[in-house]
Structure 1
Amino acid sequence: MNGQRMMIFSGGELGEWALDYLSPDDVIIGVDRGAFFLIENQVTPTIAIGDFDSVTAQQRQFIEQKSGKIWACDPVMKDLTDTEMAFHWALEQNPQEIILFGVLGSRFDHSLANIHLLLKGLQKQVRCRIIGKHNEVTLIDHMTEVQKDRYTHVSLLPLSMSVTGITLEGFQYPLTDATLQIGDSLGISNVLLGEKGKIQIKTGYLLVIQSRD
């Protein structure tokens, strides 16, 4: 599985839009109810992971029958969320990229914990993204380019106490060698002037959030 994309589907905000990102060579990881979503849409998970406390007994049986592999755990005696378990498994496969779907939703605690997973990927030098219906989230410690695609706004938020040397090219509101402290809102709701823009930083961890209403 070295060098492949790992596509993690958890049980949060999902829809047919998420299936459009799949390619034949992807490793597909279904997490709890996310595995059932995949199978309902005629997609076979490479592996299904979780405690499966968000599905019925009949749905779990369906997941076990239709998935390539199953990694089940006790719903109480565990230290990690199902999504973090799946993320660790994906990292161990030495992937080219990890993309997470269904990890944003009504549970803000889970959404925030899932955003923090991006740091684990960055520290392993694996490109990671969270893609939702209205948002795409990445974390950088050096440089990235963003495409306008289907998004109208780009927001920048520190994940570390401060981020220094922020320089933007191709944005309506440019920055040059700027610093953002955690809690600052200066980086919210920027707009690309063209089809792409460039973001560079010198130190720290910066969340790059592309969004649309």
Structure 2
Amino acid sequence: MQPRIVICTGGQLGAWALEHIKAGDLLIGADSGARFLISQGLRPDIAIGDFDSVSAEELAIIRSSSGQTIACDPVDKDYTDTEMAVRLSLDMQPSELVLLGALGTRFDHSLANVHLLALAAKQNVRATIIDEHNKITLATEQIMIQKQGYPNVSLLPLTMQVKGITLTGFQYPLTDAALTIGQSLGISNVLTAPTGTIQLSEGLLLIIQSRD
């Protein structure tokens, strides 16, 4: 089992991302995410993707600077580069999965990447998407969160309905509540305690911690 895997993929990345990489992490660069890691002086353990976002010269550097390179045809493939990286990571049974660069200007890719949190949850792996302003995870039962510089906490159902939601340590508490897709009831809550507890009995609940 791999303790923690960090995937850098091709969305918005910057110096902020380095704060979320720890010694001992297994690093996977998906497409141009591998180029980013190398540009920051880091060696991807695995580079994966169709590499249609990098030049031939950059791909040569990625191949020579990564522990392993897994390349596929840009047309004849079933998954996005990020999903290939996530599926590869889950095969290694990590205790935790962190995705950097999974959000960006392509909303279709961003939304698809958020849905990948459900793929990890099915294998009982806690996965988190982090960018400069957001930290997104998925709850299937009880989960505890801390402020960590994010003043806002929003809850959005990823299934049609999430039931049995109970919040402890929040400005706006809920007790055995239900959230349905299309409702904004769970937007912009605030932690009033150092740690907040979110509990649910049924469904998949997105937890989005954010700052402006």
TM-score range, shorter chain: over 0.9
Question: Which moved further from structure 2: 45-54 or 193-202?
Answer: 193-202
Aligned to 1:29: 28
Structure 1, unmatched stretches of 5+, are none
Separation of aligned partners in 1, 2:108 and 2:198: 28
Query: What letter is aligned with 1:169?
Result: T
Q: Deviations over 1:26-74 (max 9, x none)?
A: 1000011100000000000000000100011111111011000000000
User: 1:206 Cα shift?
Assistant: 0.4
Task: Judge conservation of contact 1:5–1:98 (CA < 8 Å) in 2.
Answer: yes
Aligned to 1:155: 154
Matched, 1:186 2:188: no
Separation of aligned partners in 1, 2:76 and 2:181: 34
Separation of aligned partners in 1, 2:163 and 2:137: 18
Q: Deviations over 1:129-157 (max 9, x none)?
A: 10111000011110111101110100000
User: 1:3 Cα shift?
Assistant: 3.4
Separation of aligned partners in 2, 1:150 and 1:52: 34
Structure 2, unmatched stretches of 5+, are none
Aligned to 2:195: 196
Question: Which moved further from structure 2: 154-163 or 194-203?
Answer: 194-203
User: 1:14 Cα shift?
Assistant: 0.7
Separation of aligned partners in 1, 2:19 and 2:177: 37
Query: What letter is aligned with 2:120?
Result: G
Q: State the TM-score, normalizing by the size of structure 1.
A: 0.98
Separation of aligned partners in 1, 2:184 and 2:171: 16
Separation of aligned partners in 2, 1:23 and 1:132: 16
Separation of aligned partners in 1, 2:2 and 2:36: 26
Q: State the TM-score, normalizing by the size of structure 2.
A: 0.98
Aligned length: 212
Separation of aligned partners in 2, 1:15 and 1:57: 23
Separation of aligned partners in 2, 1:198 and 1:24: 29
Aligned to 1:82: 81
Q: Deviations over 1:121-178 (max 9, x none)?
A: 1010011110111000011110111101110100000001111111001101111111
Query: What letter is aligned with 1:195?
Result: P
Runs of 4+ in 1 over 6 A off after TM superposition: none
Separation of aligned partners in 1, 2:19 and 2:138: 23
